[in-house]
Amino acid sequence: MSTTYTIDTATSRANPTPAPLKRLTVPAIRKRKGGEPLVMLTAYTVRTAQLLDPHCDMLLVGDSLGQVVYGLPSTVPVTLEMMAAHGAAVVRGSYHALVVIDMPFGSYEASPEKAFESAAFLLKATGAAAVKLEGGEAMAPTVRFLSERGVPVMGHVGLTPQAVNALGGYGARGRSEAEAAKIVADASAVAAAGAFAVVIEGVVEPIAVAITESVACPTIGIGASARCDGQVLVAEDMLGLFERVPRFVKRFDDLAGRVGDAAARYAAEVRARQFPGPDQVYAPKD
């Protein structure tokens, strides 16, 4: 006997009627190399995922949630449990985009076996399709180990925020010839190890162009180049929810200003006893 469950979308703000979209797959993303640019944004909640999903090819549950959601000073304190909770929410809120989840600092560096344990936990707990990890040549064996065991991996080279303590800050990488060569070699190693895509963050543009032209998988730029195979931004930065954003961010709205204005109007109406009005209160039945 089969049973069909119907969600009453009229009464639940968390479960709107899903659009009839087929979720993208890792092979589909791979095939976009050199084609129509891939669109990727971060998402950490159900509602954000619902709003971004129709417009994105991929949603990244980034460990940037440490700063954006929790107000932490960096991504370093983020835990597997935090990533799992937010990853599951984003998967529940999306129907079209491939969901990629960051592996937090300390969850994969010790060994390929440790990385597999952490990745398996995240994929099981969230329903996400892939994980992302930072690092280049040193992490290539781990990328290969995961890929050969059915875990799709997105690489991340250039400015790697989890290494902020070693890098000494968030400045652009690759200004010296030696560092530029190292970043290109890192990307090539990760791609050769089986990464289905590679994020290139915070590098001088020629590096991003060179990597994009040399690796077989799609490159996703953030502070890199429009010539990458796709782009990613932290959604809250793009929407203008923070006063300070990296140089490479373009604000496509000023939601902070609009939220502040709406809160000010609400506060004024409450203090003037104009809210709630007749339309927001319940009258007794006759």
- Contact partners, residue 185, CB within 8 Å, separation at least 6: 136, 137
CA distance 62 to 68: 10
pLDDT at 7 over 60: no
64 annotated to bind ligand? yes
pLDDT tens digit string along 115-165?
Answer: 999 999 999 999 999 999 999 999 999 999 999 999 999 999 998 878 767
pLDDT tens digit string along 38-48?
Answer: 999 999 999 99
Q: Comparing C-alpha atoms, which of 132, 175, 177 is closest to residue 157?
A: 132
Catalytic residues: 201
Give the model's pLDDT for residue 21: 60
Q: What tokens does 54 get?
A: 């129709």
Is residue 97 within 8 A of residue 57, CB to CB? The reply is yes
pLDDT tens digit string along 42-99?
Answer: 999 999 999 999 999 999 999 999 999 999 999 999 999 999 999 999 999 999 999 9
* Count of residues making up the chain: 286
63 annotated to bind ligand? yes
CA distance 122 to 154: 14
250 annotated to bind ligand? no
Superfamily covering domain 26-238: Phosphoenolpyruvate-binding domains (3.20.20.60)
**Per-residue CA distances from 192 to 98, 129, 188 (Å):** 22, 20, 6
pLDDT tens digit string along 251-276?
Answer: 999 999 999 999 999 999 999 999 99
Q: Comparing C-alpha atoms, which of 220, 83, 230, 216 is closest to residue 162?
A: 83
Domain spans, the chain: 26-238
**Per-residue CA distances from 89 to 20, 106, 125, 126, 242 (Å):** 19, 23, 10, 8, 23
